[in-house]
């Protein structure tokens, strides 16, 4: 059974998109049945070009990526979510809609990352910040993919994801 992971950031334009791309890319490389999705509470309607560039430079096809609302994942047609991860502090502080999981509510955790869009140093500074953020996200996603997701109970999964967030 596929483990569906929803990654949230307010505008769904940078950190959540980097996370979706990295988790799907690494899951495919490792042969893991994990599918990432991203969304935002107030989607910007566009993906930051530096996020797309960082993913493309890592060999990830971004042609189907789009900025979307988290409302798409609270509808009856949405995939049954196992995990919901917030990656920006403002999204973590918001009241999320009700998401449905395969066994009740999904496990929710916060893995905060600074907004690479705020990096100084012009375009080159932003490129560096986006690449460093992509690498940091990739590190945590590899740790997530190393977990025995199909056999972990909810409490063990929550504890493991919190620990990954501290790394």
**What are the catalytic residues?**
9, 88, 96
Residue entry with tokens 């566009």: 46
Distances (CA, A) of 115 to 88, 126, 129, 140: 8, 10, 9, 17
Sign of CA dihedral 167, 26, 37, 19: positive
Whole-number Å distance between alpha carbons of 10 and 8: 7
């Amino acid at each position: 059974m596929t483990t569906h992971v929803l990654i949230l950031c307010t505008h769904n334009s940078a950190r959540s998109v980097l996370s979706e791309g990295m988790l799907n890319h690494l899951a495919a490389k490792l042969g893991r049945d994990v599918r990432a999705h991203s969304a935002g509470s107030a989607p910007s309607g566009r993906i930051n070009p530096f996020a797309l560039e960082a993913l493309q430079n890592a060999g990830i096809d971004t042609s189907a990526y789009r900025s979307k609302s988290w409302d798409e994942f609270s509808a009856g047609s949405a995939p049954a979510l196992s995990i919901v991860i917030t990656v920006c502090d403002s999204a973590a502080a918001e009241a999320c809609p009700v998401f449905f999981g395969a066994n009740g509510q999904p496990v929710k955790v916060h893995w905060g990352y600074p907004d690479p869009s705020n990096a100084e140093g012009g375009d080159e500074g932003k490129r560096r910040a986006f690449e460093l953020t992509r690498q940091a996200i990739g590190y945590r996603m590899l740790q997530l993919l190393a977990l025995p997701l199909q056999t972990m109970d909810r409490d063990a999964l929550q504890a493991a994801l919190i620990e990954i967030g501290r790394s």
